[in-house]
Structure 1
Amino acid sequence: MSLFDQILGAAHNHPTVKNMAEKMGIDQETAERAIAALTEGHQADTDTVTTAAERSGIDAGVLTQVMEHVGGEGSLGSFMQMLDKDHDGNPLNDITDMAGKFFGKK
Protein backbone atom coordinates (compact mmCIF):
# COMPACT_ATOMS: atom_id res chain seq x y z
CA MET A 1 0.00 0.00 0.00
CA SER A 2 1.52 3.32 -1.05
CA LEU A 3 1.75 6.43 1.10
CA PHE A 4 -0.79 8.09 -1.20
CA ASP A 5 -3.24 5.21 -0.72
CA GLN A 6 -2.77 5.22 3.06
CA ILE A 7 -3.48 8.94 3.33
CA LEU A 8 -6.35 8.65 0.89
CA GLY A 9 -7.85 5.96 3.10
CA ALA A 10 -7.56 8.21 6.16
CA ALA A 11 -9.24 11.10 4.31
CA HIS A 12 -11.98 9.00 2.70
CA ASN A 13 -15.44 10.01 3.88
CA HIS A 14 -13.95 12.18 6.62
CA PRO A 15 -16.49 14.87 7.63
CA THR A 16 -13.86 17.62 7.67
CA VAL A 17 -12.80 16.77 4.12
CA LYS A 18 -16.42 16.69 2.99
CA ASN A 19 -17.02 20.10 4.57
CA MET A 20 -13.91 21.53 2.93
CA ALA A 21 -14.97 20.18 -0.47
CA GLU A 22 -18.40 21.76 -0.13
CA LYS A 23 -16.92 25.14 0.87
CA MET A 24 -14.49 25.03 -2.06
CA GLY A 25 -17.07 23.84 -4.57
CA ILE A 26 -15.18 20.67 -5.51
CA ASP A 27 -16.27 17.06 -5.19
CA GLN A 28 -15.21 15.09 -2.13
CA GLU A 29 -13.15 12.59 -4.12
CA THR A 30 -11.03 15.41 -5.57
CA ALA A 31 -10.54 16.87 -2.08
CA GLU A 32 -9.46 13.47 -0.73
CA ARG A 33 -7.02 12.94 -3.61
CA ALA A 34 -5.70 16.48 -3.21
CA ILE A 35 -4.93 15.99 0.47
CA ALA A 36 -3.21 12.68 -0.22
CA ALA A 37 -1.20 14.15 -3.12
CA LEU A 38 -0.18 17.23 -1.13
CA THR A 39 0.87 15.19 1.89
CA GLU A 40 2.90 12.87 -0.31
CA GLY A 41 4.34 15.85 -2.22
CA HIS A 42 5.34 17.46 1.06
CA GLN A 43 7.80 14.59 1.62
CA ALA A 44 9.56 15.19 -1.71
CA ASP A 45 12.61 17.41 -2.13
CA THR A 46 10.73 19.38 -4.79
CA ASP A 47 7.94 21.94 -4.64
CA THR A 48 4.95 20.42 -2.86
CA VAL A 49 2.21 21.71 -5.18
CA THR A 50 4.14 21.02 -8.38
CA THR A 51 4.94 17.48 -7.27
CA ALA A 52 1.37 16.84 -6.13
CA ALA A 53 -0.01 18.15 -9.44
CA GLU A 54 2.36 15.98 -11.47
CA ARG A 55 1.58 12.83 -9.48
CA SER A 56 -2.18 13.30 -9.15
CA GLY A 57 -3.24 15.17 -12.27
CA ILE A 58 -5.12 17.69 -10.13
CA ASP A 59 -4.80 21.33 -11.18
CA ALA A 60 -2.11 23.21 -9.22
CA GLY A 61 -4.60 26.02 -8.49
CA VAL A 62 -6.99 23.59 -6.81
CA LEU A 63 -4.11 22.03 -4.87
CA THR A 64 -2.97 25.46 -3.69
CA GLN A 65 -6.49 26.28 -2.50
CA VAL A 66 -6.75 22.97 -0.63
CA MET A 67 -3.35 23.52 0.98
CA GLU A 68 -4.35 27.01 2.09
CA HIS A 69 -7.68 25.71 3.38
CA VAL A 70 -6.00 23.10 5.62
CA GLY A 71 -3.63 25.68 7.06
CA GLY A 72 -0.73 25.94 4.64
CA GLU A 73 2.21 23.72 3.84
CA GLY A 74 3.25 23.39 7.47
CA SER A 75 -0.01 21.68 8.34
CA LEU A 76 0.67 18.87 5.88
CA GLY A 77 3.19 17.47 8.33
CA SER A 78 0.38 16.74 10.77
CA PHE A 79 -1.10 14.28 8.29
CA MET A 80 2.23 12.47 8.26
CA GLN A 81 2.36 12.45 12.06
CA MET A 82 -1.01 10.66 12.14
CA LEU A 83 0.59 7.82 10.20
CA ASP A 84 3.79 7.72 12.28
CA LYS A 85 2.58 5.18 14.84
CA ASP A 86 5.93 4.72 16.60
CA HIS A 87 6.77 8.47 16.54
CA ASP A 88 10.23 7.94 15.09
CA GLY A 89 9.77 10.66 12.49
CA ASN A 90 9.44 8.17 9.66
CA PRO A 91 5.87 7.12 8.80
CA LEU A 92 7.05 4.99 5.88
CA ASN A 93 8.22 2.13 8.11
CA ASP A 94 4.83 2.12 9.85
CA ILE A 95 3.03 2.00 6.50
CA THR A 96 5.28 -0.87 5.41
CA ASP A 97 4.45 -2.73 8.62
CA MET A 98 0.73 -2.16 8.08
CA ALA A 99 1.00 -3.40 4.50
CA GLY A 100 2.94 -6.47 5.65
CA LYS A 101 0.24 -7.35 8.16
CA PHE A 102 -2.42 -6.77 5.52
CA PHE A 103 -0.72 -9.23 3.16
CA GLY A 104 0.06 -11.75 5.92
CA LYS A 105 3.81 -11.13 6.05
CA LYS A 106 3.88 -10.53 9.84
Structure 2
Amino acid sequence: MSIFDQIKNAAHNHPTVKNMAEKMGIDQEDAEKAIAALTEGHQAEGDTLDVAADKSGLDKGMLSQVMEHVGGEGSLTGFMQMLDKDHDGNPLNDIAGMASGLFGKK
Protein backbone atom coordinates (compact mmCIF):
# COMPACT_ATOMS: atom_id res chain seq x y z
CA MET A 1 0.00 0.00 0.00
CA SER A 2 1.36 3.46 -0.90
CA ILE A 3 2.05 6.26 1.57
CA PHE A 4 -0.85 8.15 0.02
CA ASP A 5 -3.28 5.29 0.64
CA GLN A 6 -2.05 4.66 4.18
CA ILE A 7 -2.32 8.30 5.22
CA LYS A 8 -5.71 8.65 3.51
CA ASN A 9 -6.98 5.55 5.32
CA ALA A 10 -5.73 6.88 8.66
CA ALA A 11 -7.47 10.23 8.02
CA HIS A 12 -10.73 8.62 6.88
CA ASN A 13 -13.68 9.75 9.01
CA HIS A 14 -11.37 11.27 11.62
CA PRO A 15 -13.11 14.04 13.61
CA THR A 16 -10.17 16.45 13.22
CA VAL A 17 -10.20 16.05 9.45
CA LYS A 18 -13.98 16.40 9.40
CA ASN A 19 -13.73 19.59 11.47
CA MET A 20 -11.04 21.00 9.18
CA ALA A 21 -13.15 20.22 6.10
CA GLU A 22 -16.19 21.91 7.64
CA LYS A 23 -14.19 25.02 8.60
CA MET A 24 -12.71 25.23 5.10
CA GLY A 25 -16.00 24.46 3.37
CA ILE A 26 -14.61 21.45 1.50
CA ASP A 27 -15.69 17.85 1.18
CA GLN A 28 -14.22 15.56 3.87
CA GLU A 29 -12.97 13.12 1.21
CA ASP A 30 -11.09 15.98 -0.46
CA ALA A 31 -9.56 16.91 2.91
CA GLU A 32 -8.40 13.30 3.38
CA LYS A 33 -6.91 13.23 -0.14
CA ALA A 34 -5.23 16.59 0.44
CA ILE A 35 -3.52 15.49 3.64
CA ALA A 36 -2.31 12.28 2.04
CA ALA A 37 -1.12 14.00 -1.15
CA LEU A 38 0.67 16.78 0.74
CA THR A 39 2.48 14.31 2.96
CA GLU A 40 3.57 12.22 0.01
CA GLY A 41 4.34 15.30 -2.06
CA HIS A 42 6.58 16.72 0.61
CA GLN A 43 9.02 13.83 0.37
CA ALA A 44 9.00 13.73 -3.43
CA GLU A 45 11.24 15.63 -5.84
CA GLY A 46 9.78 18.97 -6.89
CA ASP A 47 7.34 21.43 -5.40
CA THR A 48 5.12 19.93 -2.70
CA LEU A 49 1.96 21.58 -4.03
CA ASP A 50 2.66 20.60 -7.63
CA VAL A 51 3.29 16.98 -6.68
CA ALA A 52 0.25 16.90 -4.38
CA ALA A 53 -1.98 18.40 -7.08
CA ASP A 54 -0.77 15.87 -9.63
CA LYS A 55 -1.25 12.98 -7.18
CA SER A 56 -4.69 13.97 -5.95
CA GLY A 57 -6.21 15.95 -8.80
CA LEU A 58 -7.09 18.67 -6.30
CA ASP A 59 -6.68 22.40 -6.87
CA LYS A 60 -3.35 23.85 -5.67
CA GLY A 61 -5.14 26.73 -3.95
CA MET A 62 -7.16 24.35 -1.83
CA LEU A 63 -4.08 22.22 -1.13
CA SER A 64 -2.22 25.32 0.02
CA GLN A 65 -5.06 26.18 2.40
CA VAL A 66 -5.03 22.66 3.84
CA MET A 67 -1.25 22.79 4.28
CA GLU A 68 -1.53 26.08 6.18
CA HIS A 69 -4.39 24.69 8.26
CA VAL A 70 -2.25 21.75 9.45
CA GLY A 71 0.68 24.00 10.32
CA GLY A 72 2.45 24.80 7.07
CA GLU A 73 5.18 23.01 5.19
CA GLY A 74 7.26 22.81 8.37
CA SER A 75 4.70 20.48 9.90
CA LEU A 76 5.08 18.18 6.88
CA THR A 77 8.88 18.15 7.42
CA GLY A 78 8.46 17.09 11.02
CA PHE A 79 5.99 14.42 10.05
CA MET A 80 8.31 12.97 7.40
CA GLN A 81 11.21 12.85 9.88
CA MET A 82 9.06 10.87 12.26
CA LEU A 83 7.96 8.33 9.67
CA ASP A 84 11.05 6.14 9.88
CA LYS A 85 10.64 5.27 13.55
CA ASP A 86 12.99 2.30 13.46
CA HIS A 87 15.63 4.22 11.45
CA ASP A 88 15.98 1.45 8.88
CA GLY A 89 15.74 3.87 5.95
CA ASN A 90 12.26 2.68 4.99
CA PRO A 91 9.39 4.77 6.37
CA LEU A 92 6.81 2.62 4.56
CA ASN A 93 7.00 -0.08 7.22
CA ASP A 94 6.44 2.50 9.95
CA ILE A 95 3.87 4.80 8.39
CA ALA A 96 0.73 2.82 9.13
CA GLY A 97 1.32 2.97 12.86
CA MET A 98 2.51 6.55 12.69
CA ALA A 99 -0.46 7.73 10.68
CA SER A 100 -2.83 5.91 13.01
CA GLY A 101 -1.23 7.66 15.96
CA LEU A 102 -1.38 11.04 14.21
CA PHE A 103 -5.10 10.67 13.68
CA GLY A 104 -5.81 8.96 17.00
CA LYS A 105 -6.74 5.52 15.64
CA LYS A 106 -4.29 3.38 17.63
- TM-score where L is the length of structure 1: 0.79
RMSD: 2.1
How high is the sequence identity, in percent, across the aligned residues? 80
Could you say which residue in structure 2 is the equivalent of 1:18?
18
Q: Which residue of structure 2 aligns with residue 35 of structure 1?
A: 35
**Cα distance, 1:87–1:23 mapped onto 2, change above 3 Å:** farther
Alpha carbons of structure 1 residues 78 and 28: separation in structure 2 relative to 1, 3 Å: farther
The 8 Å contact of residues 83 and 91 in structure 1, kept in 2 or not, is answered as: yes
CA 86–67 in structure 1, closer or farther in 2 if over 3 Å, else same: same
Q: What stretches of structure 1 of length at least 5 have no aligned partner?
A: 97-106
Structure 1 distance, partners of 2:64, 2:90, is 25
* Aligned pairs (5 A) from 1:69-84: 69-80=69-80, 83-84=83-84
Q: Which string of whole-angstrom CA distances, capped at 9 and with x for unpartnered residues, describes residues 8-52 of structure 1? A: 111111111110000000010000000000000000121000110
- Structure 2 equivalent of residue 104 of structure 1: none
What does residue 51 of structure 1 align with? Answer: 51
RCO higher in structure (CA 8 A, sep ≥6): 2
Of the two, which has the highest radius of gyration? 1
AA of the residue aligned to 2:7: I
Aligned equivalents of 1:34, 1:78: Cα separation in 2? 17
Please report how far the alpha carbon of residue 76 of structure 1 lies from its aligned counterpart in structure 2 after TM superposition. Answer: 1.5
Q: 1:86 to 1:64 in 2, by over 3 A?
A: same
Q: Runs of 5+ in structure 2 lacking a partner? A: 97-106
